[in-house]
Structure 1
C-alpha cells in the first residue's frame, strides 16, 4: 500500500467535505459560540469511530477526536469560528446575507473541514495496517480572539503529541517558516463616582479620565519599547451621556512583541500605567486577563514534511470560471492594498504572482527569517510539540484576510482548497506516523531550540474563557 491511497481517500470524500465546508460557510458562528459548526465536524468523526472528548479547556465547542492505538500520536488542528460584521453572499459586490452578521472572512469553514478530511483519510491507513499509531483531530474554537488553543493548552490537551500539523487559507500554497508575535489581551475597568457634569463636577470622579490618562501613558510608552512590539487599544465603555461624570469606563488592550518575555515585561509596565491613572483620578481599577499566546516556532523537520506533501499534491485545480470570479473580487480592492501584501514577498515571487488573480502552484518556503506582527495561538502548540503549518491558496492574490471579498471566495472557488489541504495534512501525518526517525529528528530539534519544560501557560489561574468577547483579534 502507498501514500497515494491516503490521497485517494480524500478524493473519494471530496463531495462530502465540500458540503460540510459549505454548511459551515452558510451558518457562520462567532468564537466560543460555534455550537452547530463544532457539532457538524465532531459528528462526522464520531460516526467513523473516533473517540471524542468534548468541552476541553472549559469550552463547550472545543473537542479532541482520536483514532488508533498507542504511539506515535500526530495531531491535526482545526478551526471553525467566523468574524463579526463580514456577512457576504457569493458576489463581487458588497452584499451581506445578514447586515452586520458574521462571515467566514478567514476561511475557517475550509480550515476545520480539511482537518477532518485528513483525519478520516489517515484512519483508513491505520485500519489498512499501513501505519501504526494514533491520529488526533483538535477542534479549536475562538482563534479570532486567540482563545481556543491557549485554554486547551492549559488543560494539557497537546501534551502527549509527538507532532502537530495545521494550515490556514490564504493566497499562496506554501509552508510557513517565519515567527509571529506573542500577545496578551486584557481589559482595565475603572470605577469612579458619578455626578452632574455641569452642576457639581467637583463631587464626581471620572472613570473615563482614568482611561484617557492610561491611553496617554501608553502613547508615551511606545517610544521606549522595541520596534517590533505593538500596543493597540479600544475604549469599550466610556460613559453614556456628556452631562454625567462617567462612574465606570473600560479599555481593552493588546500587547504584542516577538517573545513571550517581552510581552510580559510590557504588560507589567501597562499595569503600572493603569494603577497610576487610577491614582491620578482618585478612581479604582480592576484587570481582566482575557488571553495570551506565544510566538510561533516552526519545526524544520515537520515543516519539510509538509513542504514535500504540498509539492506532491500539486496545484489546486482552479478553472477559468474560478479565475474570472477571483479577478472580479481582486478588482474591488485598491491597488495599493494589493501592493502592500506583495511587498511582504521576495521580489521574484511578487513579480511572478502580481498579475495572477489565483496562484495555485506550490511556492517554496521563503519566510524563514520573517517576523510577522500578527499573533496566533498555534504558537502555544509549537512550544509544546514539534509543529508545522502551511497556507493554501483559497482567495485571490493580494486580497486581505478579514474582508468580505474573502468571504465570497470561501463560499465559492475556495471550497476546492479543502481537498488540497486535506491531502497535504493527511500525507504529512502518514509520513510522520510511518517514519520513526523523522519524528525522532523533529523531537531532537524541538528539545534543542525550545525544550520540553519551556512552556508555561500565560493564563492566570483564575482566567476563564471569555464567552462575552466576540470582536476580531486573530492574526
Structure 2
C-alpha cells in the first residue's frame, strides 16, 4: 500500500517541479502571494479537492479538502511566501535578478509544493480505498511575518483536525522534536509637532526622540528579563531632514519568550516604556498589534512516524553536478557556518557529513527537549491539534537560512528533494489514517502537553498587509 502511495508521488514529480520553478521565478511577499496561491489552489482543484479560499480574512489563504469515507482528518501545512531583498540567480556568486527584489531564501517554493503533492497522493489512496477519512492541505500565507496560521487559527480552520504535519527545507534530514519561542509582533507610532530644528526647536515635539527613548528603555530592560527572552526592533520611520523636528516616527518590535505568558509579561513592560517615552517627549503614542504566536509543541508520536518513513525511504539522493554547485556555494559561506552545522550532528553522521557538500542521510532528531531561538506560526496549529514537522536536505551543508545561497539551492538542486519530502508527508499521513492506536497515542500525548488554546490576536485585529507592500 505504501509503495503505491510513493509511486503516486513519483507520478506527480514533474508537476511538482513545475510548481516549484514557477514560484521561484515569481517570488511574492507575505499576504501578497496571489500567483502562488492560485497556482496551488488550481492544482488541488484539478485533483478533486474542494477549495475554501480567503480564510482568516486573507485572500491568499485557503483550505483544500478531499474526503472519502468515515475516518480521521489529517492536515498538511504549506507555505509559499518569499523574503524581501533576496533576489538571486542560480549562480555561485551574489547575482541579483532584480536589485532589491524578493527571493525564496527560506525554500517556501519547495515547502508548499511538496505538501500539495503529498495531499494529492493521499487523496488517490483514499479513492482506492486504502484508507478512509479526510486529507486537507492548508495554504498558509505570510509565515515570514508570523501572520498566516495565527489568523487562520482565529477562524477555526484547524479546530477539527486529528493531526497535522509539515516540513521545512534545510541542510539536513531529520524529524524535529524541539520547541520554539512564542512571539508578539507590534509597532509604536509617535505623533509630535514639527518645527525648524535650529530656529524654533522649542516649538517642536520630536517623535524620533520618543522612539529613541523607547529603544533606550528596552536596552535597560534587557538586564531584567529571563535569559531566553529575545527583543528586536527596527525603526520604520524617523523623519526626513535634520533641520526639521520629526512630527512622526515609528518602530517595529518582536518580543519572544519560551512561553506565551512570558511574552505577555515582556510586551506589557514594553508598552509601559512606550507610554513613558511619550510622556517624556510630550508626544502621543499609538500601537499597531500585527500578530502573535505560541511556542511549538512537537508531538513525539508523529515525529517517530516521520522517522519510520525516513528509514523506509533512505537518503535524499543528489547527482554530481548538484554536489558540485553545492560545494561552490559552501566556499562563499561565513567562517564557521559549516562547523556550526556539523556540531549538531551525532555519530556516525558527524564523520560521514564532514566532507559532504550535500548530506541527505536521515538522522534521528537532535533537538529533543530543546527550545530554539526562533519562532514559527506552526506553533498555533500545535496548540490545537497534535503536530510534528521534519527537515529535509535541500541546501548545501552549512547554508545560512534567509541567504542568497539558499535562494540558489531552492531554485536548483533543492528541487530534487521535493518528491522525497512529499513521500514523507504522504506516508506519515497514511499511517495516521490507518493506525487507530498510533493516532490515539498522538492525541494522548497532545492532551498531556497542551492545556487549552487561546488565540493571541485581539478581537478586532486585521491582517497586516502593509508589512510587505
Same fold (TM over 0.5): yes
* 1:468 correspondence with 2:466: yes
Distance 1:129 1:302 in 2: 23
Structure 2 length-normalised TM: 0.98
Q: Which runs of 4+ in 1 moved over 6 A?
A: none
Bigger mean CA offset, 170-179 vs 363-372: 363-372
* 1:307 correspondence with 2:310: no
List aligned pairs for 1:293-372, cutoff 5 A: 293-346=293-346, 349-372=349-372
Aligned to 2:19: 20
Distance 1:131 1:346 in 2: 37
Cα contact 2:196–2:243 (8 A) shared by 1: yes
CA offsets 1:133-153 (integer angstroms, 9 cap, x no match): 000000000001110001000
Match of 1:455 among 433, 440, 453: 453
Cα RMSD of the aligned pairs, angstroms, is: 1.2
Distance 2:374 2:148 in 1: 17
Cα contact 1:341–1:400 (8 A) shared by 2: no
Q: CA deviation at 1:338?
A: 2.7
Question: How many aligned residue pairs are there?
Answer: 468
In structure 2, the CA distance between the partners of 1:355 and 1:45, relative to structure 1 (3 Å rule), is same
List aligned pairs for 1:188-199, cutoff 5 A: 188-199=188-199
Q: CA deviation at 1:422?
A: 0.2
Distance 1:137 1:463 in 2: 25
* 1:40 correspondence with 2:39: yes
* 1:238 correspondence with 2:238: yes
In structure 2, the CA distance between the partners of 1:270 and 1:100, relative to structure 1 (3 Å rule), is same
Bigger mean CA offset, 341-350 vs 106-115: 341-350
What secondary structure does 1:468 align onto? helix
Structure 1 length-normalised TM: 0.97
Distance 1:214 1:239 in 2: 16
Distance 1:5 1:435 in 2: 18
Q: CA deviation at 1:414?
A: 0.6
Cα contact 1:131–1:433 (8 A) shared by 2: yes
CA offsets 1:143-191 (integer angstroms, 9 cap, x no match): 0111000100011010010000000000001001111111000000001
Distance 1:387 1:447 in 2: 12
Provide structure 2 residue ranges, at least 5 long, that are not aligned to the other structure: none
In structure 2, the CA distance between the partners of 1:122 and 1:347, relative to structure 1 (3 Å rule), is closer
Q: CA deviation at 1:365?
A: 1.2
Cα contact 2:297–2:449 (8 A) shared by 1: no
Distance 1:150 1:166 in 2: 16
Q: CA deviation at 1:437?
A: 1.2
